[in-house]
Amino acid sequence: MATKYSPLSFPVFSSLLLILLATISSRAEAIKVHGFSSIKEATVHDIQLAFKQNQLTSRKLVELYLKQITRLNPVLKGVLEVNPDALYQADKADHERKFKAPGSLSALHGIPILLKDNIATKDKLNTTAGSYALLGSVVPRDAGVVTKLRKAGAIILGKASLSEWSYWRSNAAPSGWNARGGQGKNPYTLGYPGGSSSGSAISVAANMAAVSIGTETDGSILSPSSKNLVVGIKPTVGLTSRAGVIPISQRQDSVGPICRTVADAVYVLDAIAGIDHNDNATIQTSRYIPKGGYAQFLNSDGLRGKRLGIVRAFYNFGNDTIISRTVEQHLKTLRQRGAILVDNLEIANIFRDVYSSSSEDTALSAEFKKYINAYLKELVSSPVRSLTDLIAFNKKNSKLERLDTYGQDLFITAEATNGFGNAEKAALKNLAKLTREGFVTLMTKNKLDALVTPRSDVSPILAIGGFPGVIVPAGFDSHKVPFGLCFGGLKGSEPKLIEIAYGFEQATKIRKPPTFKT
Ligand SMILES: *[C@@H]1O[C@H](CO)[C@@H](O)[C@H](O)[C@H]1NC(C)=O
Ligand SMILES: *[C@@H]1O[C@H](CO)[C@@H](O)[C@H](O)[C@H]1NC(C)=O
Ligand SMILES: *[C@@H]1O[C@H](CO)[C@@H](O)[C@H](O)[C@H]1NC(C)=O
């Protein structure tokens, strides 16, 4: 534009232009600051800023999310229950904000959060894993992560739907289905949402909650996050407490955030990570938590110097050239942002073995029986007290629980186990060997900071070793199904994974809200 003007007039023009630009930008700033007009894509940072500038209250915010739930949930079925006390908690947060020193409140103070329905709350909400069998059961206390969330001042907005029993009842049931809530839907396609933390991902994707929490045993955070174009963090096993979470396996279960942005997910992680004496694994694992927490790693230059491994076996998308092209473009971006791509890493047979081995199922089956029985036994009151009771309940209520359609094969297989015999011991030994000779060797030999894989296909490798992964929106495949790019690392590598994920997110900004019509 400047070339159109003579050099002499340019200074005059440019100073005029500067004034003009300054006016526009200060006006844009003013609009942004004063207009918390919509919850659409609102980040924790946006919300806290609006609180600070008296443009928004937690009560107003909860009302907006409840309105969105009323509008969208009949179609999407991402929310099982809303908390009758959410507005009371919002008023309490608004009151506290008035009297506490600025900066003394946590990032989650006054922020409405949705919890997967396998996370216990000792309040008016039920905790049922989506099953009628646990409706009316009374939990002994809040889950460890809920205690931490309440302490941080978060508002428990409600319970998110899920694949029933976190996908450990039946192989035949589709992702996102549970008896109480019905079939959850992907807001981008109105098809399957992935699972098992389906409702958590659906809800934040469709702006029905500010942030959410899911759980993962193998893929249950990473898969729905990928398919619903949101960010998921599956923490190192034991970084977050599993106490009060309806379990599958203490060896693999992990509780983590599902949110629209990496920063939001990191604020949630900061609130929930740490020691809980009802889950002893958190004591050992707490050594991984950096002083000052995880938010300090939200570094937009976080890709610089990071060594990222690429195993091409994960990059086979059939004839879907759209996803192939998008992924290659992302690899280019990672390189341009200073990452060192260690490409064409050999896929050892041992790596492939993770996918063909039955060891994980063998171990999980016996573990599920052990841990679900322990969970049910600890309830203050409950219609069911054991896996045996659960199976009987489903038979008795076969219509309600759709037993004819979906069966309960995983329950029955688990019920047939008898502790940790030779088969289970051999399975556990095999999983340890696959981890040691597979992922750990790959990462250490090549000095990798993360393994980069599209979608959530890497989840079994991370699952069996208790490793963390962060997934970030990456695009859409040829069927317009969203997918993410996943960064997996060794235990305790969350700081690096967050830097990498945030660097990628800031360089690409793929996330956008769904546009379906109701
Ligand atoms: C919990 O379940 C009971 C049915 O047993 C129901 O009456 C109640 O409304 C549920 N709680 C919430 C918060 O939806
Ligand atoms: C945690 O460890 C302590 C000491 O070993 C033990 O007494 C306690 O029962 C354990 N708690 C749980 C919840 O496993
Ligand atoms: C590959 O092409 C076939 C035939 O056109 C089609 O049916 C199939 O859905 C395509 N696969 C993918 C992954 O797009």
3-state secondary structure 198-225: HHHHHHHHCCCCCEEEEEECCCCCHHHH
Q: What is the DSSP string of 222-274?
A: HHHHHHTT-EEEEPPTTSB--TTB--S-TTT-EEEEEESSHHHHHHHHHHHBS
103 lines ligand 3 (CB under 6 A): no
Please determine, for residue 26, whether its predicted confidence score (pLDDT) is greater than 50.
no
Residue 400 exposed, middle or buried by CB count within 10 Å (0-12, 13-18, 19+): middle
- How close is the Cα of 477 to the center of ligand 3, in Å? 12
Q: Which of 196, 203, 212, 254 is catalytic?
A: 196
- Tell me: the pLDDT tens digits for 139-184? 999 999 999 999 999 999 999 999 999 999 999 999 999 999 999 9
- Tell me: the pLDDT tens digits for 10-20? 333 334 333 33
For ligand 3, atom 3, name the residue with the nearest CA.
319
What percentage of the chain reaches a pLDDT higher than 70? 92
Q: Across residues 443-451, what is the average pLDDT?
A: 97
- Tell me: the pLDDT tens digits for 449-471? 999 999 999 999 999 999 999 99
Nearest to 268 by CA among 44, 33, 10, 510: 44
Rounded distance, CA 62 to CA 52, Å?
17
- Whole-angstrom distance between the N-terminal and C-terminal Cα of the chain? 45
Nearest to 96 by CA among 32, 149, 51: 51
- How close is the Cα of 144 to the center of ligand 2, in Å? 15
Q: Across residues 41-46, what is the average pLDDT?
A: 97
pTM, rounded to two decimals: 0.92
Ligand 2-lining residues (CB < 6 angstroms): 278, 280
Q: Which atom of ligand 2 is nearest to the CA of 280?
A: 1
Q: Across residues 502-517, what is the average pLDDT?
A: 94
Peptide bond into 196 cis (omega under 30): yes
Domains of the chain, each with CATH number or no CATH = 44-303+451-507 (3.90.1300.10)
Q: Where are the alpha helices (DSSP H) in 77-134?
A: 86-99
Please determine, for residue 131, whether its predicted confidence score (pLDDT) is greater than 80.
yes
What percentage of the chain reaches a pLDDT higher than 90? 88
User: Residue 18 has what pLDDT?
Assistant: 38
Q: Across residues 192-208, what is the average pLDDT?
A: 98
User: Residue 518 has what pLDDT?
Assistant: 59
Rounded distance, CA 481 to CA 229, Å?
9
For ligand 1, atom 11, name the residue with the nearest CA.
125
User: Residue 27 has what pLDDT?
Assistant: 38
Q: Which residues pair with 114 in a beta bridge?
A: 158, 212
Q: How confident is the model at residue 517 (pLDDT cuts 50, 70, 90)?
A: low
- Tell me: the pLDDT tens digits for 349-368? 777 788 989 999 999 999 99
Rounded distance, CA 91 to CA 110, Å?
9
Of 10-19, 269-278, 299-308, the least confident:
10-19
Please answer whether residues 45 and 263 qualify as being in contact, where contact means their C-beta atoms are separated by less than 8 angstroms: yes
Nearest to 78 by CA among 145, 14, 130, 43: 130
Q: Across residues 195-212, what is the average pLDDT?
A: 98
DSSP class of residue 408?
A: -
Kindly state the helix (H) or strand (E) to which residue 474 belongs, with its residue range.
Answer: strand 469-476
Q: How confident is the model at residue 100 (pLDDT cuts 50, 70, 90)?
A: confident
User: Residue 35 has what pLDDT?
Assistant: 56
Q: Across residues 72-81, what is the average pLDDT?
A: 98
Rounded distance, CA 119 to CA 105, Å?
24
User: Residue 101 has what pLDDT?
Assistant: 81
Please determine, for residue 511, whether its predicted confidence score (pLDDT) is greater than 50.
yes
- How close is the Cα of 321 to the center of ligand 3, in Å? 10
- Cα–Cα separations (whole angstroms), residue 104 to 86, 187, 377, 504: 22, 37, 40, 31
- Tell me: the pLDDT tens digits for 283-298? 999 999 999 999 999 9
Please determine, for residue 33, whether its predicted confidence score (pLDDT) is greater than 60.
no
Residue 280 or 31, more confident:
280
Q: Across residues 246-255, what is the average pLDDT?
A: 98
Task: Please indicate whether residue 196 is annotated as part of the active site.
Answer: yes
Q: Which of 116, 306, 369, 496 is catalytic?
A: 116
CA 370 to chain centre: 26
Task: Please indicate whether residue 116 is annotated as part of the active site.
Answer: yes
The crossing angle, in degrees rounded to 10, of helices 349-356 and 422-434 is 140
User: Residue 346 has what pLDDT?
Assistant: 80
User: Residue 19 has what pLDDT?
Assistant: 38
Rounded distance, CA 260 to CA 230, Å?
5
The crossing angle, in degrees rounded to 10, of helices 86-99 and 58-76 is 150
Q: Which of 197, 198, 212, 220 is catalytic?
A: 220
Other beta carbons less than 10 A from residue 132's beta carbon: 17
Q: Which atom of ligand 2 is nearest to the CA of 279?
A: 13
| Ligand closest to the CA atom of residue 321 | 3
Nearest to 459 by CA among 252, 250, 280, 310: 252
290 lines ligand 1 (CB under 6 A): no
User: Residue 16 has what pLDDT?
Assistant: 38
